[in-house]
């Protein structure tokens, strides 16, 4: 009787231990999923508000290799211990057949209750679960730290023997690519979401886009000849929609100053006497600031802020005038067009009922990609006309069509050798052939 009671007591103790180990295994499995799936941005905000649990989770995630190593060690110890106890109990009850029973039974229990169930709950409640298990996992990290360090050392040694980088040398995924992926996942109803995505993409692109890609080309820059009479200068300034205009003398490439309309009005008001012809317009103008066309927008934005400037003259490697760029141009790359009462609104894009677009040749590829979420390459050309010339390798005729990048282009107007207007069909449905290759078709206008 005493022996039966002892066996029953031992059996109950072993079953209790197995259940406890399964609960502990479920805890480690769910913790791994919760701590890796929790939103780092939300945890960071909670930490700034004084949430200590969020701060604990963030500290654990900064040592990701130690965290994962600790969880895997704990998970494997509990699973192996539970399986060993179950095998021992079932062997004592069913002899050799107990091994098979233990293998099948523990596999079902571990998969359902120690893996799938806790991980499913954790992935659906990642932030709350991470905050709940963070303090406990921190204790296990401290307890298992010697074993975790030793395990990592052995693994790194073995990997180096085969010429593979160790765990501590593995590079993390680029933060920028992660941000871009999060931006693309930012979806929702309404046009505002599309605009938000475009703005966020533009912020990340500031360091990659050069001034050359967004500047106003020299052919479109309004300039004033400094040798003109003051009255004519005033007329040109009043007729222009711009506040600042470059001054040149003799050759339009020779920019000698930047004339600000308000500065000129102050000078006229404070000029003694009635003979305004004696006013030196160059002294009123500011010194021109020349920048290389290869400057990226992020550096240029910081330079504008540091110099407290709003206007820069863009030159190439030979010092030749290429165009001008303003602080507003850079800001528009982020938020889109900023029009005021003096701006001349020329979008240059007109959607058509058949799904095509009438586009001026001077419209930039970046504007088209941002406004319509197209994916036209802008590495080799800044405008839609420049893209046609670069891909076709010829100066096209009016009526000529091209197909590349899943778009169909038809030349509608030209001025000399400049493409001034074209029609674009995005993703044509009735055109056969590979869109990866540039094809041309001479058609009637």
Residue pLDDT, tens place only, 40-77: 888 888 888 888 898 998 888 888 778 888 888 899 99
Q: Please tell me which residue, 418 or 159, carries the higher pLDDT value.
A: 418
408 neighbors 359 (Cβ within 8 angstroms) = no
- Mean pLDDT, all residues of the chain: 81
Question: In sequence order, which residues have a C-beta less than 8 Å from that of residue 331 and are 6 or more positions away?
Answer: 338
Secondary structure, 3-state, 311-335: EEEEECCCCCEEEEEEHHHHHHHHH
Residue owning tokens 């079953």: 15
Averaged pLDDT, 321-331: 89
Per residue in 90-135, pLDDT tens? 888 888 888 888 899 899 999 998 889 999 999 899 899 999 999 9
Please spell the DSSP secondary structure of 358-381, one letter per residue: EEETTSBHHHHHHHH------SS-
Residue 154: the pLDDT is 84
Residue 282: the pLDDT is 84
Q: What is the assigned CATH class of domain 211-335? A: alpha beta
Residue 190: the pLDDT is 59
Given pLDDT bands bounded at 50, 70 and 90, which one contains residue 347? Answer: low
Copy the structure tokens of residue 212. Answer: 């050359």
Residue 444: the pLDDT is 37
Of the candidate ranges 20-29, 251-260, 344-353, 434-443, the one whose mean pLDDT is the lowest: 434-443
Residue 346: the pLDDT is 45
Indicate whether 442 pLDDT > 70.
Answer: no
Identical fold at 211-335 and 349-442?
A: no
* CA separation for the pair 342, 245 (Å, rounded): 14
Domain 349-442 matching CATH 3.30.300.20: the answer reads no
Bridge partners (DSSP) listed for residue 358: 350, 423
Per residue in 253-265, pLDDT tens? 889 999 988 888 8
Residue 432: the pLDDT is 39
Residue 166: the pLDDT is 52
Residue 26: the pLDDT is 92
Indicate whether 177 pLDDT > 80.
Answer: no
Indicate whether 436 pLDDT > 70.
Answer: no
* CA separation for the pair 165, 174 (Å, rounded): 18
Residue 340: the pLDDT is 57
Residue 437: the pLDDT is 40
Given pLDDT bands bounded at 50, 70 and 90, which one contains residue 198? Answer: confident
Residue 345: the pLDDT is 44
User: Domain map of the chain by residue range?
Assistant: 2-169, 175-205, 211-335, 349-442
- For the chain, give the percent of residues with pLDDT over 90: 15
Residue 174: the pLDDT is 55
Residue 25: the pLDDT is 92
* CA separation for the pair 298, 295 (Å, rounded): 8
Indicate whether 445 pLDDT > 60.
Answer: no
Burial of 27 (C-beta count, 10 Å sphere; 0-12/13-18/19+): buried
Residue 168: the pLDDT is 46
Sheet of 224-225: strand order equals 224-225, 244-249, 251-260
Averaged pLDDT, 184-190: 64
Indicate whether 443 pLDDT > 50.
Answer: no
């Amino acid at each position: 009787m005493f022996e039966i009671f002892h066996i029953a007591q031992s059996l109950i103790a072993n079953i209790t231990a197995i259940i406890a180990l399964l609960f502990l295994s479920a805890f480690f499995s769910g913790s791994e999923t919760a701590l890796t799936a929790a939103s780092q941005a939300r945890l960071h905000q909670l930490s700034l508000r004084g949430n200590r649990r969020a701060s604990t989770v963030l500290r654990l995630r900064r040592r990701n290799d130690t965290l994962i190593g600790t969880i895997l060690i704990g998970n494997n110890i509990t699973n192996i211990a539970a399986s060993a106890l179950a095998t021992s109990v079932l062997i004592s009850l069913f002899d050799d057949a107990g091994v098979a029973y233990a293998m099948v039974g523990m596999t079902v229990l571990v998969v359902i209750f120690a893996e799938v169930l806790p991980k499913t709950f954790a992935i659906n409640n990642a932030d709350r679960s991470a905050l709940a298990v963070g303090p406990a996992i921190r204790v296990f990290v401290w307890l298992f730290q010697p074993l975790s360090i030793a395990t990592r050392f052995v693994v790194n040694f073995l990997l180096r023997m085969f010429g593979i980088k160790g765990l501590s040398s593995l590079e993390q995924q680029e933060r920028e690519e992660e941000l871009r992926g999060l931006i693309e996942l930012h979806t929702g109803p309404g046009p505002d979401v599309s605009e938000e995505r475009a703005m966020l993409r533009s912020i990340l692109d500031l360091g990659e886009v050069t001034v050359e890609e967004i500047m106003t080309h020299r052919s479109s820059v309004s300039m004033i000849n400094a040798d003109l009479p003051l009255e004519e200068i005033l007329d040109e300034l009043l007729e222009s929609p711009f506040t600042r205009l470059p001054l040149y003398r003799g050759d339009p490439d020779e920019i000698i100053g930047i004339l600000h309309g308000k500065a000129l009005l102050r000078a006229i008001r404070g000029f003694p006497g009635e003979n305004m012809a004696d006013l030196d317009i160059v002294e009123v103008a500011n010194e021109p600031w020349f920048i290389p066309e290869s400057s990226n927008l992020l550096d240029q934005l910081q330079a504008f802020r540091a110099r407290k400037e709003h206007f820069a003259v863009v030159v190439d490697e030979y010092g030749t005038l290429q165009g001008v760029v303003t602080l507003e141009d850079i800001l528009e790359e982020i938020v889109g067009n900023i029009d005021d009462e003096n701006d001349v609104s020329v979008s240059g894009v007109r959607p058509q009922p058949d799904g095509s677009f009438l586009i001026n040749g001077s419209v930039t590829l970046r504007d088209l990609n941002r406004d319509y979420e197209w994916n036209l390459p802008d590495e080799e050309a800044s405008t839609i006309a420049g893209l046609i010339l670069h891909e076709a390798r010829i100066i096209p005729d009016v009526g000529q069509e091209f197909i590349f990048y899943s778009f169909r282009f038809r030349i509608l107007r030209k001025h000399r050798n400049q493409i001034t207007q074209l029609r674009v069909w995005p993703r044509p449905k009735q055109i056969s052939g590979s869109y990866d290759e540039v094809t041309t078709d001479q058609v009637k206008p």
